[in-house]
Amino acid sequence: MTITICIGSSCHLKGSREVIRNLEELVERNGLQNKVEMEGSFCLNQCVKGVCVKIEDQIYSVTPSTTEEFFKNEVLTRVK
């Protein structure tokens, strides 16, 4: 599966780079490197919700501190 993270300036300022780093770590910790791919995207036009993270056309609002929760609820449930 692919996780798309908005890297537009607004999401950047809200910590998109940290969200990516956290997700990377979580993916690795759970041994999902071959199952989960990550890519950036241009502004997803929902700047107030930033950091915008998209899975299967659904946009989620994630912050560096909620990344782990997001990962548990939205990523782990999908790959299992």
Partner 1 sequence: MLEKNYNLSNIKHEVLLEVAKLAKNNNLSDVDKLPYQMIEGPQSNFRCCIYKEREIISQRVRLAQGKSPSPTKENKNIVQVISSACEGCPIARYVVTDNCQKCMSKKCQQACKFDAISMTKDRAYIEASICKECGACAQACPYNAIADLMRPCKRSCPVDAISMDENNIVIINEERCINCGSCIKDCPFGAISDRSFMVDVIKLIQTGIPVYAEVAPAIEGQFGKGISIGALREGIKKLGFVDMYEAAIGADIVAVNEARELIRAKEDGHKMTTSCCPAFVNMIKKHFPTVIDCVSTTVSPMTVTARLIKSAHPDAVVVFIGPCIAKKGEVLESVTQDSADYALTFEELDVLFEAFEINLNTEERYLQQASIYGKQFASSGGVTKAVVQAIEEEGLNSEDYKVRQCNGADECKKALMILKSGKLPEDIIEGMACVGGCMNGPASRITGPVTMRNRNELLDQTDGRGIHENLNNYEKYNFSVHRK
Among 17, 55, 63, 76, binds partner 1 (CB under 8 A): 17
Among 13, 35, 56, 73, binds partner 1 (CB under 8 A): 13
Among 31, 32, 34, 45, binds partner 1 (CB under 8 A): 45
Q: What is the closest distance, in whole angstroms, from the C-beta atom of residue 8 to partner 1 in the complex?
A: 6
Q: Does 26 participate in binding partner 1 (rule CB under 8 A)?
A: no
Helical segments of the chain, H only = 9-13, 16-29, 67-70, 77-79
Q: Does 42 participate in binding partner 1 (rule CB under 8 A)?
A: yes
Query: How many Å apart are CA 51 and CA 61, to the nearest integer?
Result: 6
Q: Is 8:44 a contact under the CB 8 Å cutoff?
A: yes
Q: Does 76 participate in binding partner 1 (rule CB under 8 A)?
A: no
The 3-state DSSP composition of the chain as helix, strand, coil percent (nearest 5) reads 50, 20, 30
Q: Does 49 participate in binding partner 1 (rule CB under 8 A)?
A: no
